[in-house]
Structure 1
Amino acid sequence: MNQAAQHVQQLNPYAIALCATGRWIASRHWVPATGGNFSIRTGEHSALVTASGKDKGQLSPQDLLPVSWQQGPLQCDGTPSAETALHARLYQLDHQIKAVLHTHSVHSTVFSRLLPGTEHLLTGYEMQKAIRGQHSHEDSCPLTVFDNTQDIPALADAVAERWQQVQTASALLVRGHGLYVWGQSLEDAKRHLEAWEFLIHCELERIRLTGHV
């Protein structure tokens, strides 16, 4: 057993919980074709993250890799998801974040391509209250949209530049790519994911019926 596998085994409670959540997400068809990636914080400067190219519907602790950023550049014994740098930046931006979930659902991907600007404002939905900091359907909840890029460090820098705006929703949307959510626990992140998928689906239906974005 290599050092990375031994470390994952030692962190079994974290690994088991993240894998169970990942399989639940896959059952909703939100991470097709090995897409998406998940992580859970294990320390101030470390996390477990899904390895690249793994079927999320069959996720097991052996499919998770420990990553660290304490010494600056990401350190990992293995090939983590290509978007690991963005996960790490989110953890650095807010030390209360304990889990990050990234999905490629049809609804969020299509919705992201319909939005003309860099922000979409939601209001009037009772389900907004499932998002941390939202207390009423009358609140305004901005979902920040970023253009897709294969340069993940550049995307991470863009998110950091707009962090005050981004953190309000505990989520961000990458155009033509998918949704990122996070939370102060894995359960928190899972609730945010389900709430945002619901809200995005509602907005798609509203656009379909009214013709207005």
Structure 2
Amino acid sequence: MASISPLSVDEQIALVTSDDPHHPANLICELCRNFYTLGWVTGTGGGISIRQDDNIYIAPSGVQKERLHPSHMFVLSHSANTYLRHPTPLKPSACTPLFLAAYNARGAGACIHTHSHWAVLATLINRGKKTFRIANAEMIKGIPSPATGGYHGYHDTLEIPIIENTAKEEDLRESLEKAIEEYPNTSAVLVRRHGVYVWGDTVWKAKTQAECYDYLFQLAVEMAKLGLDPAGPIDPVEDES
């Protein structure tokens, strides 16, 4: 558990006060309002974290995400594992150990956790399976491919690990870290009956990827309803000549 730094009140306020709309404390509030309209962070669930140099900004636990204010933000020193800002009486996000897993293993610049029902359903149409797979879909091209240093191609098969849910969010850390290690080409981990964690080099890349993933989850669920295999080949077109 992270310790708490003895910064003065003024120093702590300065960490989350800025007129710059791109400041992490402001961006987290803006993005959470947007994600709320998508149904990703309702009921205080889900969360987002942004890293700025060594400081990691994290939305708190138990606060309506559409009503977040910069003063609600926790700020963690990554290198020292110390809270530079720990606003009372708010509680640190239970997602924090999972966010740190993405920062530590992938050098991410931001991490997003959603409770999207499409993400949940994507895990349920893959009962008994350890991965979600989809191929030959245009939005796959919005997902990075660390193995190649570029992005996935239209004909690639996108594979995302699925880990099993736990009673407490923080208890997911070990299985999420294992999934990140075992699937070096992924930038997301699905949690069965729960949601998804997505990370990116920057907050905007993480946002773009989260949107692409959600589109692909919905597409796969709708394909499964029609008896189509989301990872199946493209059917040949009959020659009518």
Distance change >3 Å, CA 167–CA 25, structure 1 → 2: farther
Q: Is the 8 A contact 1:34 1:55 kept in 2?
A: yes
* Counterpart in the other structure of 2:237: none
Distance change >3 Å, CA 31–CA 169, structure 1 → 2: same
Is 1:194 the counterpart of 2:211? The answer is yes
C-alpha RMSD of the superposition: 2.3
Structure-2 separation of matches of 1:68 and 1:147: 30
Provide structure 1 residue ranges, at least 5 long, that are not aligned to the other structure: none
* Counterpart in the other structure of 1:184: 201
1:157-176 pair list within 5 angstroms: 157-176=174-193
Q: Summarize deviations over 1:125-184 as a string: whole Å, max 9, x none.
A: 111001112342111211110001145554222222232444423111001110111111
1:98-177 pair list within 5 angstroms: 98-116=109-127, 117-133=129-145, 134-152=151-169, 154-177=171-194
Structure-2 separation of matches of 1:15 and 1:4: 12
* Counterpart in the other structure of 1:55: 64
* Helix, strand or coil at the partner of 1:210: coil
* Helix, strand or coil at the partner of 1:155: helix
Normalised by the length of structure 2, the TM-score is 0.78
Structure-2 separation of matches of 1:11 and 1:154: 37
Once the 2 structures are TM-superposed, how far is the Cα of residue 64 of structure 1 from its aligned partner? 1.4
Is 1:66 the counterpart of 2:104? The answer is no
Query: Aligned letter for 1:20?
Result: E
Range moving further from structure 2, 79-88 or 63-72: 63-72
Structure-1 separation of matches of 2:120 and 2:99: 19
Identity of aligned residues (%): 26
Structure-2 separation of matches of 1:48 and 1:150: 25
Structure-1 separation of matches of 2:139 and 2:99: 26
* Helix, strand or coil at the partner of 1:200: helix
Provide structure 2 residue ranges, at least 5 long, that are not aligned to the other structure: 1-7, 146-150, 231-241
Structure-1 separation of matches of 2:181 and 2:157: 15
Report the count of equivalent residues.
210
Distance change >3 Å, CA 21–CA 172, structure 1 → 2: same
Distance change >3 Å, CA 153–CA 31, structure 1 → 2: closer
Flag the structure with higher helix content.
1
Once the 2 structures are TM-superposed, how far is the Cα of residue 69 of structure 1 from its aligned partner? 4.1
